[in-house]
Structure 1
Amino acid sequence: MRRLKKIILFSVIGLVLIIFVILGIEATFQRQTQDLIYKEISEIPHSETVIILGASVHADGKLSPILKDRVDTAIKLYENGIVENFLVTGDHRSDDYNEVAAMTNYLQKNGIDKSLITSDHAGLDTYDSMYRAGRVFNIEDAIVVTQNFHLPRTLFIAQNLGLDYHGFAADQSAYQTEYRLKQREKLANLKALWEVLLKKKPHSLQAFIH
């Protein structure tokens, strides 16, 4: 019985420590990037490129609400003269799933000329997208558009890659999966810290411009 109590005690202590580490990393990301995130569109300085990070796409090619808000926000930045062109980066691991084509098609349907859109078909995760934006597509100055809960991790990665990127939140609506995504983000922070510390190379260093 005494041994069982010790096992339970150590398990509880271990769980508490893990929670503190996860929350500590989240707080660190937020603290280090808070000055890089703009709250109002009027505050954003002119940047050459807006980077749109991919998210889920429906089977018919329709953007999920989260991705639609990201692209709509990027269009708003362009229409306000804040950015000049677009980098769309996302997952295109198979022929029947293509976040990049879906974003590109949506941009064009909303009046964005194809010549202003650069496509990164190998942005398989946030780290790869940031790394490739800077090292493969040579984007030095950019506004990154994604949801507010995702921006600290995104900009922490960019900052540690030596990239001068800022962020603007695409939270234009409430999302049914928002709570789950915020909890997932806490674990994704661990992965991002590990990738930064290891100076990980992305899955691909080819441009794949289509």
Structure 2
Amino acid sequence: MGRRGVLGVWMRRGLLAGALSLLGVLALSHFVQQRYAHRILPREGAPEAPMALVFGAGLAPGGVPSAVLAQRLDTAIALWRAKKVEAVLVSGDNSDRFHDETRAMRRYLLERGLPERAVLGDDAGLSTYDSCVRAHDVFGLRRALLVTQRFHLPRALYIANSVGMEAWGVAADEGRPSTRRYLLRETFSRVLAALMVLLDLKPASSLPSPPPAR
């Protein structure tokens, strides 16, 4: 076999390996997406739980919640007012003093009528994985409603239920058209989430937080 023939064989093997890897990624992403899909419920049909867990989603100019984050917080407020939850745990990133998600989220909820005792904050929610693990390990959360957009819920639910929480999801964008904007990112993020759960990784930050109010 000449040099071209050897090169052709290795190219075919490389393409086959790449195709198999891509199929593996897509299969694992689909598994994570579907594993707890049945636990995504409309707000009215969500079960009662001690707490709603709201994930950070960035701030707008002026240090106020972004439109996406405000959507999540408004949904948590509605759940609290409907007595679906007793309290709200907001989990965000305050690693930059000019970007304190948790403070902005807490302020948003308090300004809209939630009492101090019903609003808890985790300043070390640097990722969805960290937020879920810390909610379980640090805050002792065993049963919760996860509040985020629909595209994000399958990954959040997979992580939360895999680390020992009994969790359901309520889509903050319920009733709105779905978007494909995050499709590619979520495909790979779901795979990463599955690997992190499998490896039982510790949160990136060990920052302690106070236990939830009883």
Tell me the TM-score normalized by structure 1: 0.90
What is the CA–CA distance in structure 2 between the aligned matches of 1:203 and 1:75, rounded to whole Å?
A: 29
**In structure 2, distance between residues paired with 1:7 and 1:99:** 50
Structure 1 unpaired stretches of 5+: none
RMSD of Structure 2 on Structure 1 (CA): 1.8
Q: What is the alpha-carbon distance in structure 2 between the residues aligned to residue 170 and residue 73 of structure 1?
A: 6
Over residues 106-134 of structure 1, what are the superposed CA-to-partner deviations in whole Å (9 max), with x where a residue is unaligned?
11221222221111000100111000001
Offset at residue 5 of structure 1 (A): 3.3
Alignment partner, residue 160 of structure 1: 162
SS in 2 for 1:142: strand
Q: Which residue number corresponds to residue 83 of structure 1?
A: 85
How far apart, in 1, do the equivalents of 2:181 and 2:48 lie? 34
Counterpart mapping for 1:1-210 below 5 A: 1-38=4-41, 40-172=42-174, 173=176, 178-209=179-210
**C-alpha contact (below 8 Å) 2:29/2:188 kept by paired residues:** no
What SS does structure 2 have at the residue aligned with 1:200?
coil
Amino-acid identity (%): 33
Return the alpha-carbon distance in structure 1 between the equivalents of residues 125 and 158 of structure 2.
17
* 1:66 partner letter: V
The whole-number CA distance in structure 2 between the counterparts of 1:160 and 1:137 is 17
Once the 2 structures are TM-superposed, how far is the Cα of residue 23 of structure 1 from its aligned partner? Answer: 1.5
Structure 2: gaps of 5 or more residues: none
1:125-166 C-alpha deviation (Å, 9 max, x unpaired): 011100000110111111000111111111111121111111
1:20 CA drift (Å):
1.2
Task: Measure, in 1, the Cα distance between the counterparts of 2:25 and 2:14.
Answer: 17
Shift of 1:7: 4.2
> What code does the residue aligned with 1:102 have?
A
